[in-house]
Structure 1
Amino acid sequence: MSESISRLAEKTFVALANPYDSVQRTYPLAFEEAQKVDNPRYVGIKDQNVIPESLLLSLHKAGFILHTIDHLAMGGRATDNRLTNPITGRHMTGSSSGTAINVRVHINDLGIGTDGGGSVLMPALSLNLYGLISKTLSVEAVTRAESHLSTDGIMLTPTVGFIARDLKTIEDACQSIGVIRSEQTRDSVTRVLVEHALHVPIKADEKDIRIVEKQFPDSNVKRADQISFLKKALNDYDVVISNEGPVDLEGIGDTIIGHMGSKAAMIQSSGHKYLSKVVNMVDATGLVIPANSLGEGILITTKSSPHSVQTVLKVARYFEPFTDKLLDSYFTQLKIYYPRGYGYPSY
């Protein structure tokens, strides 16, 4: 067992304390299941019936143990005015809000959410987490999902996505459900479109990759225009790499707010939600990688195919992994949730 018994128990103590109101239900007996495997990792899922039990069973076989059912933004809203971002203290980005929070504060190691118009990728990035969406993660989820109109009147069908603090956890989860192969391959990625001035650290020996730079649309552009841009880009290139964020730090990227006049529109565009909110709408596979700046990162997008997850993960490995010792040390201290307080005896 890679994680100590006491640490596993602490995760459940925090889930039961529910300091961010992000947990809807905790399964304390996950502790028993975790002791049966070598490398247990706790999982939280968004409270959505789109997420099938078959996905959880596949993950369970690889040591991913269901630990919590997570709160979500009401009505699939892009901002969650009931939950608080544990880093900024502002309203949490939606709609897989509780799932992302529970990963950031180390209640869970893997979060499973649903994404219609950025509802996995954006909450992940708002907390400097990794996020992946792809229809290949669960065929059953695709068949179970119901199409509906977004708040800005665009038809969408939600898909499943993963959230984690590190890329390896997402890779392990993808491997456990069979969407990537364990052996290293050299799948062809020849044409990469990169947002202008974004540095992509492709190794010099990667002669099969050709990078083209181009100016991308900003957050003032309507979502329909972003959809048209990304569709064309994915027809012309194998992979598209863009800047994202800072998410909901300087504004609130929410259509319910943004439709109410020019000042509200400025507030919405200052939420800096770019192509991440249309990845699912063009049936693509997308992976967000956090940067060292709050709420910022990059998005790697490719057409959904049997090998699309492997493609975005391959490109992701060129980028420096995100780590933040302060975030990890602060949110893993049990005493911030259970302070000893006045009157506790001195031992």
Structure 2
Amino acid sequence: MCKNNSLEKSKELFKKTLVAIENPYKSVNYVFRNIVDTLDEKNIDQVHYIGVKDVEQIPRTLVTKLANSNFLLHTLDAHSLGGRAIDVNLMNPITARPMTGSSSGTAINVFAGINDLGIGTDGGGSVLAPSMALNLFGLICPLIEQDEMKKYNRKSTDGIEFYPSIGLISKRIDLIEKGLSILLETEFKEVETDAILASKKVEGYKDVTEFPNSTSSRNEMINFLNEHLSNYDCLIDIEGPIDTEGFGDTVFGHFDDKTKIIQANANKCLSKVANMVKATSIVVPTGKLATSYILTCESKKEKIEKMLTIAKRINYKENQLIENYFADLSKYIKKGYF
């Protein structure tokens, strides 16, 4: 890389840290300010900054694996209290409503350009839903640090037992794939498949059926995945808009019929249960606000490979207005009267 490009990359990385320190969305718990000391000028063009959800479940071995491939730990990220599905302490930068949780700060810090890749945990949609809420790519895979994650078995707010999966969030699907390859120590190739089951909302597939919707119970969604995942390489649906017309949160929704309707209007569906059946799932923005394709498969390398191939072929165009407004790092660096 030439000196001018190295200088520009250095400036960009420096701005990321300045914005993290400014913390405009209150989404950063801690900034590793000495990250600059770890930069190698020869490899600076390959450096990516990562943010990690500030929870004990994410093992340090994961961060070390990523660091060995130039994904450097930049921030520890805020998150919703107790894994709640909405975060009453953080605001969604686009909608000005409570941010979708629980990996809320991790998603915001990717969205704002502070980090290139976010690492979160997902029990019942805690990575997939915040990714959708901010039109980001998000992936969960229970094969990542599987033995470690099994130590954190718990019950959901509606009484379903599960343990969390590690998830990745980014504006770029190639960084999602690269991060997954590093963490699973495997390479993914492009492979063909026609064993795809699509919902009626998705065009272009021969095998189509009625998928559960946001009014379905979690058990109905789980039963649907358990029935179909083994028969297909990938299931694909469209989900959203997330948390724009309601609050997809059991704490809020459990009171009465009215709050249940408001909860269902948040349009969360298979994102809430993919982890509970230990599936691998990726969300790909459609371009509409907080609305994504959600692809789900069994957590087997050959099926993940096929699912990633499909996901990468989905035509996605970045929203330039949103990118220009929210990801211009210079806007976040304080400039007063002088």
**TM band (smaller chain):** over 0.9
1:185, distance to aligned residue in structure 2 (A) = 5.0
Q: Look up the match of 1:83.
A: 90
Match of 2:270 among 275, 279, 282: 275
Amino acid at match of 1:196: K
Amino acid at match of 1:228: N
Amino acid at match of 2:336: G
- Asked if structure 1 preserves the Cα contact closer than 8 Å seen for 2:102 and 2:130, the reply is yes
Q: Look up the match of 1:171.
A: 177
Match of 1:321 among 316, 319, 322: 316
5 Å-filtered alignment, 1:1-347, equals 4-36=9-41, 37=43, 38-143=45-150, 145-181=151-187, 184-186=189-191, 189-200=193-204, 211-342=206-337, 344=338
1:177, distance to aligned residue in structure 2 (A) = 2.7
**Inter-partner Cα distance in structure 2 for 1:248 and 1:91:** 8
Q: Which segments of 5 or more consecutive residues in structure 2 lack a partner in the other structure?
A: none
| 1:52-95 C-alpha deviation (Å, 9 max, x unpaired) | 11111111111100000001100000000000111111100000
- Matched residue SS, 1:289: strand
- Asked if structure 1 preserves the Cα contact closer than 8 Å seen for 2:243 and 2:266, the reply is yes
- Asked if structure 1 preserves the Cα contact closer than 8 Å seen for 2:234 and 2:297, the reply is yes
1:217, distance to aligned residue in structure 2 (A) = 1.4
Q: Which segments of 5 or more consecutive residues in structure 1 lack a partner in the other structure?
A: 201-209
Identity of aligned pairs, percent? 40
| 1:164-202 C-alpha deviation (Å, 9 max, x unpaired) | 0010111121222345415x353x6342110014124xx
1:96, distance to aligned residue in structure 2 (A) = 0.4
Amino acid at match of 2:167: G
**Inter-partner Cα distance in structure 2 for 1:195 and 1:98:** 31
| 1:195-248 C-alpha deviation (Å, 9 max, x unpaired) | 014124xxxxxxxxx730111111011111111111111133221001111000
Q: What TM-score, normalized to structure 1?
A: 0.91
Q: Specify which structure has the higher proportion of helix.
A: 2
- Asked if structure 1 preserves the Cα contact closer than 8 Å seen for 2:286 and 2:293, the reply is yes
Count of matched residue positions in the alignment of Structure 1 and Structure 2: 331
1:315, distance to aligned residue in structure 2 (A) = 1.2
- Matched residue SS, 1:43: strand
**Inter-partner Cα distance in structure 2 for 1:29 and 1:341:** 26
Amino acid at match of 1:293: K
Amino acid at match of 2:229: L
- Asked if structure 1 preserves the Cα contact closer than 8 Å seen for 2:234 and 2:303, the reply is no
- Asked if structure 1 preserves the Cα contact closer than 8 Å seen for 2:278 and 2:299, the reply is yes
Q: What TM-score, normalized to structure 2?
A: 0.93
Q: Give the direction of change, closer, same or farther, for the CA distance of 1:63–1:234 in structure 2 (3 Å limit).
A: same
1:317, distance to aligned residue in structure 2 (A) = 1.8
1:140, distance to aligned residue in structure 2 (A) = 4.2
- Asked if structure 2 preserves the Cα contact closer than 8 Å seen for 1:34 and 1:65, the reply is no
**Inter-partner Cα distance in structure 2 for 1:249 and 1:18:** 24
Amino acid at match of 1:16: I
1:41, distance to aligned residue in structure 2 (A) = 0.5
Amino acid at match of 1:195: S
- Matched residue SS, 2:224: helix
CA RMSD, 1 decimal: 1.7
Amino acid at match of 2:67: H
Amino acid at match of 1:225: E
| 1:293-343 C-alpha deviation (Å, 9 max, x unpaired) | 11001111000123343222111122013412222222233443234232x
**Inter-partner Cα distance in structure 1 for 2:55 and 2:40:** 28
